[in-house]
Structure 1
Amino acid sequence: MSDLERLHRIKYMIQARKCVPIQAFLDELEISKATFKRDLEYLRDRMNASIVFDRADGGYRFDKPNAGEKIELPGLWFSEKEATALALMQHLLANLDQGGLIGPHIDPLMEIIDGIMGQSEVSAKELRKRIKVFGMSARKNSLENFEEIGNALFKRQRLQIEYYSKGKDETTNREVSPQRLIFYRDNWYLDAYCHMREGLRSFALDGIRESELLNKKSQEISEKELNENFSESYGIFSGKATQKAKLRFTPERARWVSGETWHGQQVSSYDKDGYYILEFDYNQDPELVMEIVKHGSAVEVLSPAGLRKRVKDELTKALRNY
């Protein structure tokens, strides 16, 4: 453990436990009494840490309840609870991020967090060992493109991309103005203004074969317009809503579906027989059809007729192939 990490640890131990016996410092930090005294002197003299020894409680504490929060030491600062939350967040993200796009950039930070939490009652390593996250539909992505896209987003510059569309089985070269990155159903997408199509589009990152940062300013799209285009209707490749879906789930399936969010502005209710009615706006239906089909006979499409027919055809096709 470095000297800096040890100073962090002393501060966090006192913040978390209010009053800490000297033996607890020696045991958890694995240091001598002389080293602890030097660290304590440094914190008091150089960092103005108001740490006092409380004879009644037999330990070290800050002389005021919130005094520790005002100590400014080099590096990132988190309370022990905040460090625990960060360790959990990193682990969850790393498990969801099956393509390895973000993990490598967070790993160095986690070494610091592990040092801060040290051998406490709940260590970061122990927490990560006890949590499992399964990303069932994650696709492999390119870290190189992810970094280039990230640079374009932060610098607000355009990108030249070579994009492969799985639906059309075609590759196109496009100039785009990146707006935001989206993590949706275990995969990454880029919302951008496409200068070739002259409109907003969503690009799957695993479909971006090559990317190059251009020395051109991005065309800025307002948050309102982005939300109207990408959040108004169901799914990731949505566009402005043109239709309203109305689904009816059996009382049994409603136990699960009633707790799900299919759309930010969905409307739901129960009918007199206990069936769960779900209504929301949508534009393109391929993704919606796949989601409905997953529920089999437990869901009925009440409207519109076109969506009902698409689902029926898909189920018929599946039975035929089966």
Structure 2
Amino acid sequence: MDRTERFYKIEMLLRSRGSVGFAALREELAVSPATLKRDLQYLRDRLYAPIVYDAFDKGYRFDSGAAAPRGARHELPGLWFSEHEIHALLTMHQLLAGLDDDGVLSRHLQPLLERLQGLIGADAAESRELMRRIKVIGTARRRVPSRWFELLGSALLQRKRVRLRYFKRSDRRESEREVSPQRLVHYRATWYLDAWCHRSDALRRFALDAVREAGVLDARAKSLPLRELEAALDAGYGIYGASGAKLKWATLRFVPDAAQWVASEEWHPQQKSRHLSDGRYELQVPYADATELSMDILRHGDSVQVVGDKALAAAIAQRLRRAAAQYREHPE
């Protein structure tokens, strides 16, 4: 963390917490006592920050009544965020700006967008310039009608059941469902609803872009602990969680050329990995449903091999054979 970033961090901590002790500031900034003292002194003397020590609270705070010297103004040098902060701010802005395709949510989203605009830059011109210079690219976005997002979000907060007419892509059929919404999930540029399905009597995940009709019911929604929801739908690989399904582990070995890229990726929070002596990279990930894992394995082509899991290896091999058959030359 460089000095300018530390200045912003100190300002953010003091404004958000009111009063922060010396030890807490040191821990947040990971600096020596001497460096922190120099930073505080520089903020006071050179940048006119009204930082005072409050003996009663035993911490530093901003003095709202202090005035800067004549002609001076407290202003931090430049505008910058950490990697996670800039990604979060711009992703939130992009999500909110792209959500209201048909204008239904404007009255709800505009105050949020204006507040976010203020966080991104001191004024409208500054925030627009920042968003022009740093771009967050989302691919393969599946659009969700705002009326479904608003209806399902409202039912989720009000703890109401919902009637869905849902298109299931695996068998290309529509079905009627009564569900109790539990959680909205945004994953790989697509929105999903995690809900208790009363027809199947189990947790299910529904893609919002596959909702054909929806209506809020008077019945109270079944409520599940968040821990149970996470255990059922988040333990395996990707978005295709299978409630109650036994987890398996896939072992993938990547050739050296691919290893230098894959070694920097997180495929799953509980993944295990190691570099092999011949330069290959071994990655182990848990999964319950192989649908999405197979797609991610296939995109690496001949740079990866599935080992140990015979069923998964056979499924990948079959998919590769079918893909190769699409490109065979046929006689005229």
TM-score clears 0.5: yes
Alignment of 1:181-196 (within 5 A): 181-196=184-199
Alignment of 1:26-105 (within 5 A): 49-55=64-70, 58-59=71-72, 89-95=88-94, 100=99, 104=106, 105=108
Determine the C-alpha separation between the residues in 1 that align with 2:312 and 2:130.
45
Q: Assess if the C-alpha contact under 8 Å between 2:275 and 2:282 holds in 1.
A: yes
* Count of residues paired in the alignment: 261
- Go from structure 1 to structure 2 and tell me whether the alpha carbon gap of 1:97 and 1:246 turns closer, same or farther (over 3 Å shift): farther
Q: Assess if the C-alpha contact under 8 Å between 1:253 and 1:298 holds in 2.
A: yes
Alignment of 1:262-273 (within 5 A): 262-273=267-278
Per the normalisation by structure 2, the TM-score is 0.69
Q: Assess if the C-alpha contact under 8 Å between 1:96 and 1:135 holds in 2.
A: no
Residue 285 (str. 1) matches residue 315 (str. 2): no
Determine the C-alpha separation between the residues in 1 that align with 2:69 and 2:47.
13
Residue 172 (str. 1) matches residue 171 (str. 2): no
CA shift for structure 1 position 112: 5.2
Q: Assess if the C-alpha contact under 8 Å between 1:231 and 1:264 holds in 2.
A: no
Residue 249 (str. 1) matches residue 254 (str. 2): yes
Unaligned runs of 5+ in 1: 1-11, 21-47, 62-79
Percent of residue pairs bearing the same amino acid type:
33
Q: Assess if the C-alpha contact under 8 Å between 1:191 and 1:200 holds in 2.
A: yes
- Go from structure 1 to structure 2 and tell me whether the alpha carbon gap of 1:99 and 1:285 turns closer, same or farther (over 3 Å shift): farther
- Residue in 1 that maps onto 2:48: 18
Alignment of 1:113-192 (within 5 A): 114=117, 117-118=121-122, 123-192=126-195
CA shift for structure 1 position 149: 0.7
- Go from structure 1 to structure 2 and tell me whether the alpha carbon gap of 1:118 and 1:231 turns closer, same or farther (over 3 Å shift): closer
Per the normalisation by structure 1, the TM-score is 0.71
Unaligned runs of 5+ in 2: 1-14, 16-42, 51-62, 328-332
Q: What is the root-mean-square deviation in Å for CA atoms of aligned residues?
A: 3.2
Determine the C-alpha separation between the residues in 1 that align with 2:314 and 2:87.
44
- Go from structure 1 to structure 2 and tell me whether the alpha carbon gap of 1:266 and 1:101 turns closer, same or farther (over 3 Å shift): farther
- 1:199 maps to a residue whose letter is A
Determine the C-alpha separation between the residues in 2 that align with 1:321 and 1:307.
22
- Go from structure 1 to structure 2 and tell me whether the alpha carbon gap of 1:18 and 1:298 turns closer, same or farther (over 3 Å shift): same
- Residue in 2 that maps onto 1:29: none
* Structure 1, 97-106 or 170-179: larger mean CA deviation: 97-106
Q: Assess if the C-alpha contact under 8 Å between 2:93 and 2:113 holds in 1.
A: no
Determine the C-alpha separation between the residues in 1 that align with 2:189 and 2:116.
26
CA shift for structure 1 position 272: 1.6
Residue 202 (str. 1) matches residue 205 (str. 2): yes
Q: C-alpha deviations, 1:181-212, integer Å up to 9, x for none?
A: 11111111111110011000000010111111
Determine the C-alpha separation between the residues in 2 that align with 1:19 and 1:179.
45
Structure with the greater relative contact order (CA < 8 A, sep ≥ 6): 1 or 2?
Answer: 1
- Residue in 2 that maps onto 1:237: 240
Determine the C-alpha separation between the residues in 1 that align with 2:199 and 2:140.
30
Determine the C-alpha separation between the residues in 2 that align with 1:236 and 1:88.
22
Determine the C-alpha separation between the residues in 1 that align with 2:87 and 2:109.
12
* Structure 1, 163-172 or 209-218: larger mean CA deviation: 209-218
- Go from structure 1 to structure 2 and tell me whether the alpha carbon gap of 1:60 and 1:129 turns closer, same or farther (over 3 Å shift): closer
- Residue in 1 that maps onto 2:281: 276
Determine the C-alpha separation between the residues in 2 that align with 1:191 and 1:242.
19
CA shift for structure 1 position 232: 1.3
- Go from structure 1 to structure 2 and tell me whether the alpha carbon gap of 1:112 and 1:243 turns closer, same or farther (over 3 Å shift): closer
